[in-house]
Amino acid sequence: MERTERFYKIQNLLRSRHFVSTQDFLSELGISRATFKRDLEYLRDRMRAPIAYDRDQQAYGFDPAIADSQLWQLPGLWFSADELQALLTMDRLLGDLQPGVLSELIAPLRKRLRSLLESGEHSAADIARRIKILSMGSRRVAPAHFRTIATAVLTRKRLKLRHQRRQDGEVIDREVSPQRLVHYRDNWYLDAWCHKRQALRTFGLDAIATAIAMPDKDVKEIGEDTLERHYASGYGIFAGSATQDAVLQFGASSARGVSRETWHPEQVGTPQLDGTYLLQFPYAQEPELVMDILKHGADVQVLAPESLRKAVAEKLRAAAKLYD
């Protein structure tokens, strides 16, 4: 019987019998005297349970000296130590994924969770020291913008955005129907229906200058199937209906690692007899794909299509000129 279950059992025994001897507790709970002592101390010290030993009854009961002690009960939302550790681990991951975005909102919850966890095998401080997320290339998102956008996504209300396009720096105003928030490669993005363009668009939250909720306007709902077709068939965050298939050949030194990677849900990988690895998958736009290919340097060759070969070659030539 786990400790959480024992706590509820102790509470229920006291409610039903009013007085319960130590031996009855040990028998009902199937634990040692030392374990029962630790459970009792935790309930008294951490959960403020008004449990006292009655010498006349030679048993434990709710303390009559404390008003309404019979009304005491365990919290409605209660977690085992393992569950608390999992929650704090997730909290740690969230904090490291985008520092500052959610910290103000989850601070009270973190404080409560940490107080409950302290009796467990690992403290919150242990978890903070032992779990570390190293973010590369993350861009700062204003917490106020994140909350406004996240609320609009969940409450299904439109947003008025002022957004700076990354490619040319132009500032644009858009009224959008938010569909979902996406955390991708250490950055947040908003998938939304753009009412001006009458099409699905993706907005980087770091490039949003202002985000204003429009509570009186309901969103245009886009079906999940449509969203998946639009965003899943492309490559990375650059979505759209796939129009071409990329065919990449990786050298033997990269083959093992690449064979374990997911570049696209519909990819097909084939180990070659010479130790190289052939990877094929559909894509819609080239920018992100080109950058991922370049990371492998001379250990990858684009076999098809020709347009992708040229795009990668142009980037390599431009980079090489910097070192001439």
- For residues 221, 224, 230 and 231, what is the CA-based torsion angle, rounded to 10 degrees? 110
121 in the same domain as 147? no
Tokens coding 233: 């068939």
- In a domain? residue 21: yes
Query: In which band, very low, low, confident or very high, does the pLDDT at 232 lie, cut at 50, 70 and 90?
Result: confident
Q: What is the CATH number of the domain that holds 258?
A: 3.30.70
287 in the same domain as 250? yes
194 in the same domain as 161? yes
182 in the same domain as 112? no
Q: What is the mean pLDDT of residues 304-318?
A: 97
- In a domain? residue 110: yes
91 in the same domain as 65? no
Is the pLDDT at 323 greater than 90? The verdict is yes
Tokens coding 106: 């989850």
- In a domain? residue 210: yes
147 in the same domain as 228? yes
Q: Concatenate the DSSP letters of all residues of 116-134 into one string.
A: HHTTSSS-HHHHHHH----
d(CA 225, CA 248): 29
pLDDT tens column, 240-275: 677 899 999 999 999 999 999 999 988 999 999 999
- The pLDDT value recorded for residue 278 is 98
Q: What is the CATH number of the domain that holds 200?
A: 2.30.30.520
Tokens coding 137: 């290339």
Is the pLDDT at 140 greater than 90? The verdict is no
Q: What is the CATH number of the domain that holds 45?
A: 1.10.10.10
- The pLDDT value recorded for residue 133 is 64
- The pLDDT value recorded for residue 115 is 64
Query: In which band, very low, low, confident or very high, does the pLDDT at 231 lie, cut at 50, 70 and 90?
Result: confident
Is the pLDDT at 76 greater than 70? The verdict is no
Is the pLDDT at 68 greater than 80? The verdict is no
- In a domain? residue 27: yes
200 in the same domain as 162? yes
- For residues 285, 288, 292 and 298, what is the CA-based torsion angle, rounded to 10 degrees? 70
- In a domain? residue 137: no
- The pLDDT value recorded for residue 176 is 98
**Phi and psi for 271 in degrees, rounded to 5?**
-65, 140
Query: In which band, very low, low, confident or very high, does the pLDDT at 213 lie, cut at 50, 70 and 90?
Result: very high
148 in the same domain as 208? yes
pLDDT tens column, 92-101: 666 666 655 6
pLDDT tens column, 165-207: 877 889 999 999 999 998 888 788 999 999 999 999 999 999 9
Average pLDDT, the chain: 85
Our count of domains for the chain comes to: 4
Asked which of 45, 71, 97 is the last residue of a domain, the reply is 71
Q: What is the mean pLDDT of residues 61-87?
A: 71
100 in the same domain as 20? no
Domain coverage including residue 200:
143-232
- In a domain? residue 276: yes
Asked which of 232, 266, 297 is the last residue of a domain, the reply is 232
- In a domain? residue 200: yes
Asked which of 232, 260, 276 is the last residue of a domain, the reply is 232
- In a domain? residue 76: no
DSSP H helices in 195-305? 224-232, 252-259, 287-294
- The pLDDT value recorded for residue 307 is 96
211 in the same domain as 183? yes
226 in the same domain as 163? yes
96 in the same domain as 61? no
DSSP H helices in 118-248? 124-130, 143-155, 224-232
d(CA 288, CA 278): 19
